Amino acid sequence: MSWSMYYSVTRAHFSSAGPNYLAQLAAAETIPIALGIPWARIAEKKGFRIALLPGFLEALFLLLVGFIGAQPTAITLFTVCMASLFWSLAGPQTTAIVISASPTGHTLSSYFIGSTIGWSLGALTAPLTYQLLGYTPTMMLTGLLTAVSYTLYMLYLPTEYPRRRISWQSNCGSLLYVIALSTSILYMTEIIGSIYLSTLYVELGRDNVMYALTLFATGLIGAAIRPLAGKTVDKLGPEKVLQATLLAYAAYVYIYPSLHGLTAAIAWLIPLFPFLDTSLYLYTTRILGEALGTATTSAAYTPVGLTLLTISMLDTSLHTYQITSTLAALTSAFLLVVYEQRAKRVNI
């Protein structure tokens, strides 16, 4: 819920700063996340309880975003970057805990139902509190909710250690593949969640109520579809579901910028993401194990952030983000096919 509030408010608050500042903000949110890969070793050796401790520093810096991050400045970018850094250590391990306890699409989708409802509530309440109370109180609330979340994880851990571990040294190829695949996928989703989200706000006439209701409805639809996503992944396998979803996303990200008004709002409700995240995390954790798989998938945000930062410095247009996100979706689908074909030949 807390990061949903953060994203909803910052994309509305900085919507007039232009797409390049939004890309820089997305870069600040994503560049530090590669640090989650070495931190996964802590989860494997010391357990999840120790691995979750940086989450409380994440909460602190989200709190600070409310005090010193109200203007589109470098200070805002730095504070956001620090919050993201500490999320990169603790955040991915929350998903690893769930997969370690029960590595099925049904279990993971059930877990994601809760996170989706939380995301929906955050998306509903944040624009309203932003309108009524302002930027700083809303961002303070995100920090407090983050601290509460990690406290609950500490109190109710279903398992202390990852179920599977791999030899890092002998699986460098698989590690690089997961990074490349996840980078392409997360670049696409970051464009949607940053630049396209801000575009949606503008298309809704900067109406905070309509913006909140649209995001809330998106979450409710996503939560409703998640059981189907989990069953589909368990039945067909994560690689097949991931492949089909990526092709659907390629069409979506190419078409979306041409939509306006109510059509843009309706298109935003299409529930592709439940199929994407469930299949992606189960797929990568089967390759690398739970702690390393979730951390490596999330770590792909770092090259994504660097790419967005570079593109934003070129003073590019929305069309550039449209084309590059489409190519990213198609590249992901291609990498998946190549790796799976190679894996089949090796097994034969």
Question: Can you say whether the dihedral through the CA atoms of 283, 152, 88, 14 is positive or negative?
Answer: positive
Structure pTM?
0.84
Cα separation, 2 vs 323, whole angstroms: 31
For the domain that residue 328 is a member of, what is the CATH number?
A: 1.20.1250.20
Domains of the chain: total: 1
Domain extent, residue 275, equals 2-347
pLDDT in tens, the chain (348 residues): 788 899 888 888 888 887 788 888 888 988 888 899 899 989 989 999 999 999 999 999 999 999 887 888 899 999 999 999 999 999 999 999 999 988 899 999 988 888 888 888 888 888 889 989 999 999 999 999 999 999 999 998 888 888 877 666 667 888 999 999 999 999 999 999 888 988 998 999 988 889 888 988 998 899 999 999 999 999 999 999 999 999 999 999 999 999 999 999 999 999 999 999 999 999 999 999 899 999 999 999 888 888 888 888 886 788 999 999 999 999 999 999 999 988 877 764
| Alpha-carbon span 153 to 52, nearest angstrom | 8
- The tokens of 49 are what? 């309880």
Residues recorded for the chain:
348
In terms of Cα–Cα distance, which of 122, 270, 275 is closest to 196?
A: 270
Q: How far apart are CA 94 and CA 116, in angstroms?
A: 14
Please count the CA atoms within 13 angstroms of the CA of 297 that sit on its side-chain side. Answer: 26
Alpha carbon distances (Å) from 236 to 106, 215, 233, 321: 13, 30, 5, 32
